[in-house]
Structure 1
Amino acid sequence: MRRALCPVETLYVGQRSRAVLSCSVRGHLDAAALSTAFDTLTAEHPGLRARIASDGSGYALEFLPDTERPRLILRTGGPEVYDEELNSPLSVGGPLARAVLATEPGAERHLLVLTVDHIITDGHSAITLLNALWDRYGALVEGTGARPTPPPAGAELLSVDWPAPVSELLPPSDESETAKYLEWRLTETGRHPVELVPYDTPRQDPEAVVGAGSTTNGQAAAVTTGAAGTADGHRIEVRRLLLDAGHTARLRQLARETGVSVHGLVSAALLIAARHRLGGDGPRVLGCLSPVDLRSRLTPPLSPTVMVAAVSTHLQAVTVDTDTEPLALAREVGVHLRDSIERGDHFQDMRIMPEVPRNPALQTGTVIATNMGSVPGPRLPEGAEVTDVRLVPAREQYFPQAGRSPLMACVVSFDGRLAIEFPHYTACFSAAFMEALRDDVRSTLLSFAAATTATAATAATGSGAAADAPSVSAPRA
């Protein structure tokens, strides 16, 4: 039994994008119980035991043979396993998920890496899946969960409840209104073209610039990664910015006091760092692309346990100068995003997403700032503890020949600590370049946190009214 991919899902086939979640654990783990827990989840979610298949002029999800379904892979290893998994693709025609548990010699330190194709997940459902896996594991080792009985071979073919694509769950809309919205978006992107940050690696060929989501003309020049990177040694790497709980709390406090969102603060820091890398004097038009969660905005809301990609996008062009005030920029980004969501633009942006291959500028931002918000990390039974959790987006297609591209930042706060992951392909941006970018973003965020401390001190002495300023509700995106 098959389920055809909708036009939006089909875009992800060409991108080969995926979510890579990792969880570092210290203590005793029962590998057999974790393997069983993973099997129970794949049994419940059809997409986790499916593959992409050709379906006429499009694609569909179809079940894998039982012998090819993803199982927990057990191996010996340490932190290097993360890099290997980050550079190991989920190929078309193969499983859409992979789970690896690496245990260091001595059996006290473990690394779980869970990779899921973007066709069947988004950030919220990926995090929910990871936490559900550990919840199942805890129930099994503590004896509160029954050992599952595998269904008879082929039983799922009799009745499958495939989750519907989100594009079919959108509120009704007149086609003429969607056409007008598309025309307006094309006009706006034409009037306000945004600048992209040039690669700092040698340019191989003067190809035209393509957007991060483009799967059309630039695809012939794409570079596909493999388990060890490409033949020339290039690979996906990640620079990471991690704030402690204190700085994260102060960042949130500033957001409350000033009426901006944390997403706005992070986006402003990214835009300022990008502007610094364009050089020269004077203002530049930069684009901020923000994925927008649709689950909470559908009627009825869609649970994060449903394994589908339920995300739209919001692109805004902003003017950034070398001396742009960060908090003012954060407020501008936040207000623009809030107003767009109030108008329901995220639904229209989902409807016009199939136009992106023909018009990449619809989703081409100088920076891409995802934000999962504040979420709980996994909970493990006694005897084991989680020491780190990460969520990093990756894909298989990169375009070093383009000479420039958006800067990607994945933002999520696990258990009160804000982390920003900067994935990059080494044929495009070098490690030194991305480390410097990360450090610039960190400096701006720490200046925000320091401003909160200064505001609190001023309020305590009664010498200012900043703490009493009214706040404006802003969405968390």
Structure 2
Amino acid sequence: MHRALCPVETLYVGQRSRAVLSCSLRGPVDAAALSAAYDAMTEAHPGLRSRIAQDGTGHVLRLLDEDERPRLTTRSGDGEEAYATELNRPLPVGGPLSRAVLVSAPDGESHLFVLVIDHTVTDGHSSIALHNALWDRYRALVEGESAAEPAATGPHWPEPISRLLPPADESDTAKYLDSRLEDVRRHAVELVPYDAATGDGTGPQGRIEVHRLALDADLTARLRRTARDAGVSVHALIAAALLAAARRRLDGDGPRTLGCLSPVDLRSRLTPPVPATALVPAVTTHLQTLDVAGDSEPLELARTVHGRLADFLARGDQFHEMRITPEIPRTPTLQLATVIATNMGVVPGPRLPNGLRAVDVRLVPAREQYFPQAGRSPVMACVVSFEGRLSIELPHFTACFSPAFMRAFRDDVRAGLLRFATAAEPGPAAAVTA
């Protein structure tokens, strides 16, 4: 059994990017039940037990044989070390497009569960939905609840999002592409220079690390109030803090052209809507360029980001953007930005059985290929609020951006967000970093 990839999904084949979901747990975990829950997910979602294969000039998802399908791996060890290992462990080409690992401390009370999924078959929303569904299944198994078994009618492949777009005139799409190409030609963005690269790719072997900024529920609520009072989104405030931090890494005080790339979820914008449980990438992007000076007012930056993104969505340009995505390999500047600010919004954490508690839940993007020799690149920020607490993950490759550089960048963004948060309600404020 196989399913052809659409041109948009094919772009992820070369990127080799993946979603890394992790859940730190306290309490007893039944490894057999968790293994059965993961098996149920891979049975219900054939993309998880598939590999990418060449098919003529294109690519397909091809089901793995039974002895090749992914199974839960369990081992003992330290959670932090295990997280670093799994973050840097790729999904091999030709192998399964998902991986699940449970690492338990010797006392059996502390655990780390890591779920890794290739972006060819998922996005942030569907990976979070899958993670929660897996734990729903686990809870049902250990508590003896009845759970629906997967239908025995063969694998159900979700339809590619690019085939669900509303109809459009080809000439309108061509005009949109011409306009975008002209915009990126006239407004070339500046990227953040690396501080750790040798420039020729011959330096020390790098690794993926993550610097994290997490706000507690009170600070998150205050940030939302600031956004509401200013008539902007929390996403716009975060984008403004990222842009300001990036500008401070460039020379001089005058205006510099910076780009902000905002992924846009298409699921709720289609008719009928596509549920998050459909394991398929359903994201397009919005790129805007702004002239940012050393003394630019962050709230004005936020208003600009918010207004332009709102206009983009009101015009329905998100559908045109998805249609022109196959042009990106020929013109990478269509998605070239100084900062990339994802936004999963407010999402629930997993519902666990009595006696088991989720201490922390994280979503971090990673990929296999980084290019220290390029000398500069966008800064990625993965933003999600689990259970009302905002978290910003800043993954980086240490042969490009050093840990010290990203730690300072993280602290700079944190300071900007705290200024926004304290504007809503005076008083002492603190943020948690990791």
TM-score tier by shorter-chain length is over 0.9
Partner Cα separation in structure 2 for residue 336 and residue 312 of structure 1? 16
Equivalent residues of 2:45, 2:156 under 8 A apart = no
Partner Cα separation in structure 2 for residue 59 and residue 184 of structure 1? 30
- Aligned partner (choices 163, 166, 170) of residue 161 of structure 2: 166
Equivalent residues of 2:139, 2:352 under 8 A apart = yes
- What is the one-letter code of the residue matched to 1:114? L
Counterpart residue number, 1:282: 254
Counterpart residue number, 2:194: 199
Offset, 1:202: 3.6
Partner Cα separation in structure 1 for residue 209 and residue 74 of structure 2? 23
- What is the one-letter code of the residue matched to 1:34? L
Offset, 1:244: 0.8
- Match of 1:423, SS? strand
Q: Deviations over 1:39-93 (max 9, x none)?
A: 1111111111111001001110010010111111111112211100001111221
Equivalent residues of 2:197, 2:373 under 8 A apart = no
Counterpart residue number, 2:132: 131
- Aligned partner (choices 217, 227, 230) of residue 245 of structure 1: 217
Equivalent residues of 1:167, 1:351 under 8 A apart = yes
The 5 Å alignment of 1:225-240 reads: 232-240=204-212
Partner Cα separation in structure 2 for residue 449 and residue 423 of structure 1? 24
Partner Cα separation in structure 2 for residue 27 and residue 343 of structure 1? 50
Partner Cα separation in structure 2 for residue 382 and residue 161 of structure 1? 33
Offset, 1:148: 5.6
Offset, 1:384: 0.8
Partner Cα separation in structure 2 for residue 186 and residue 203 of structure 1? 32
Q: Deviations over 1:367-419 (max 9, x none)?
A: 00000001111111111100000000001011111000000000000011100
Counterpart residue number, 1:2: 2
- What is the one-letter code of the residue matched to 2:22? S
Offset, 1:147: 9.1
Equivalent residues of 2:88, 2:207 under 8 A apart = yes
**Unpaired segments of 5 or more residues in structure 2?**
428-434
- What is the one-letter code of the residue matched to 1:7? P
Counterpart residue number, 2:356: 384
Counterpart residue number, 2:387: 415
Divergent runs of 4+, >2 A: 145-149, 202-205
- Aligned partner (choices 351, 370, 377) of residue 398 of structure 1: 370
Offset, 1:232: 3.9
Equivalent residues of 2:137, 2:147 under 8 A apart = no
Counterpart residue number, 1:188: 183
Counterpart residue number, 2:430: none
- Aligned partner (choices 236, 239, 244) of residue 264 of structure 1: 236
Partner Cα separation in structure 2 for residue 57 and residue 359 of structure 1? 20
Partner Cα separation in structure 2 for residue 64 and residue 422 of structure 1? 34
1:50 aligns with 2:50: yes
Offset, 1:454: 4.2
Partner Cα separation in structure 2 for residue 454 and residue 348 of structure 1? 43
The 5 Å alignment of 1:225-374 reads: 232-374=204-346
Offset, 1:100: 0.1
Partner Cα separation in structure 2 for residue 344 and residue 92 of structure 1? 36
Partner Cα separation in structure 2 for residue 27 and residue 279 of structure 1? 51
Offset, 1:201: 1.4
Number of equivalenced pairs: 426
- Aligned partner (choices 170, 175, 198) of residue 170 of structure 2: 175
CA spacing shift, 1:181–1:148, aligned 2, 3 Å: closer
Offset, 1:258: 1.1
TM-score, normalised to structure 1's length? 0.87
TM-score, normalised to structure 2's length? 0.96
**Unpaired segments of 5 or more residues in structure 1?**
206-220, 224-230, 456-477
- What is the one-letter code of the residue matched to 2:366? A
Partner Cα separation in structure 2 for residue 7 and residue 405 of structure 1? 25
Equivalent residues of 2:364, 2:382 under 8 A apart = yes
Equivalent residues of 2:262, 2:342 under 8 A apart = yes
Partner Cα separation in structure 2 for residue 141 and residue 250 of structure 1? 39
- What is the one-letter code of the residue matched to 2:397? Y
Q: Deviations over 1:269-309 (max 9, x none)?
A: 00000000012120111000000000000110000000000
Equivalent residues of 1:373, 1:412 under 8 A apart = yes
Equivalent residues of 1:140, 1:147 under 8 A apart = no
1:69 aligns with 2:41: no
Partner Cα separation in structure 1 for residue 319 and residue 3 of structure 2? 23
- What is the one-letter code of the residue matched to 1:61? L
Partner Cα separation in structure 2 for residue 453 and residue 277 of structure 1? 30
- What is the one-letter code of the residue matched to 2:119? H
Counterpart residue number, 2:432: none
- Match of 1:67, SS? coil
CA spacing shift, 1:202–1:51, aligned 2, 3 Å: closer
Counterpart residue number, 1:459: none
